[in-house]
Chain A
Amino acid sequence: MSKAAAARVFDPAAAATPDSDAALMRRVGEGEAAACRALVESHLGRCVGLAYRLLGDPIEAEDVAQDAFLRLWRLATRWQPRARLTTWLHRVTYNLCIDRLRARRSMSSAQLPEPGSNADPSGTMQRNQVARVVGDALNALPRRQRAAIALVYRRELSNIEAAEVMGISVDAVESLLARGRQGLRKRLSALRADLMGEP
């Protein structure tokens, strides 16, 4: 789905305000199962997706998302509507990923998991190959450039929210995005043969 098309789909998490999040969190704090399910349905996929784009490992991505939600549940009764819930969850997920990336800094890139290994088995070989090549190109970006692209990917967060999550200025986010996209373009151009399925 293109970014424009994705933006047209109604997204309750994107439409949420700090006050509506607070009301939802109050219900979660009271142990209301429907409220917990609503939060999981609207936010768990974002956490998993962000963690996967940052870590490249599906198992680690699920662990991080679960950890982020555990922290959210524990905070439910004390939730203060200072920021949007989605921004808070992205920030916690991002920080957990950064901790894991720091811990594995000594690991060589050859040891990192293949991002294409989780590709949809029903897709064509070329589609899988494109996904693998794009995933490799993303993983080859410097960590902060990859994070900036992952956060605003399909307009999940605005640049202002991404800046808040990363603890940097909006201009710095835009600079990271620009350098990240330039790096991707350069790398993907070099891999054009792979992308086109050429020998």
Chain B
Amino acid sequence: MERNSDPPRTVDLARLGQILDAHGADPDAWPETERDDALALLASSAEARALNASAARLDRLLDRAPTLEPSPELKARVLAAAGEAARPWRRRDAWVLAVWPFGPVWRPAVALAVAALLGIAFGTVAPPGLVGSPDPAPLAEEFATLAFGPDVDLEGQP
């Protein structure tokens, strides 16, 4: 039917029988790539027409198979369930969509959580000098030593 990647095949009686077996007698249901060949064969061959007539009889019988329409009670139950299912989502979604309208909300939530955990972990285990010192003077002296050598003090006196 939709397998357009298949190469077109020449439709003979055997192939027509396969098509009818798989798709029935309605040409609209036949593979597009073979439909014209199959219709041409039908036009030219009484045997092909007999095969098609047999498939059409089976289609008509299948149309007579028992069917079932949904009852009004089922429709009512399904619609009631829709209302119940939508209610909690509706409240949450209005809030979530206002904050994050770009897709699944778990992605930014996970990113925020990971960033928070990293911050806490870094603040807990990092050396005191990196986290900050109450007295900046020792740190300034270390920078001055690195920049100007051990004999220079902060006021620039040798």
Q: A76 CA to B89 CA in the complex, in Å? A: 9
Count, chain A residues at interface, CB 8 A: 61
Known: A3-B26, A3-B59, A40-B79. A131 touches B64 (CB 8 A): yes
Instruction: Please determine whether B69 and A132 come into contact, CB atoms closer than 8 angstroms.
Output: no
Please report A residues at the B interface, Cβ cutoff 8 Å.
1-4, 7, 28-31, 33, 36-37, 40, 44-45, 48-49, 52-53, 58, 61-62, 65-66, 69-70, 73-74, 76-78, 115-116, 118-119, 127, 130-132, 134-135, 138, 149, 152-155, 158-160, 170, 174-175, 177-178, 181-182, 184-185, 188, 195
Q: A178 CA to B87 CA in the complex, in Å? A: 47
B28 contacts chain A at the CB level, 8 A cutoff: yes
Residues of A within 8 A of B87 (CB): 31
B71 contacts chain A at the CB level, 8 A cutoff: yes
Q: Which residue of B lies closest to A173 (CB)?
A: B22
* Chain B interface, >50% SS class: helix
Instruction: Please determine whether A28 and B21 come into contact, CB atoms closer than 8 angstroms.
Output: no
* Chain A interface, >50% SS class: helix
Count, chain B residues at interface, CB 8 A: 42
Instruction: Please determine whether B2 and A159 come into contact, CB atoms closer than 8 angstroms.
Output: yes
B136 contacts chain A at the CB level, 8 A cutoff: no
Instruction: Please determine whether B26 and A40 come into contact, CB atoms closer than 8 angstroms.
Output: no
Ranked 8 nearest A-B pairs via Cβ: A31-B86, A73-B85, A178-B21, A52-B68, A36-B82, A174-B22, A135-B66, A3-B26
Return the contact of B93 from the options A77, A115, A149, A178 (Cβ within 8 A): A77
A184 to chain B, nearest CB (A): 6
Residues of A within 8 A of B18 (CB): 178
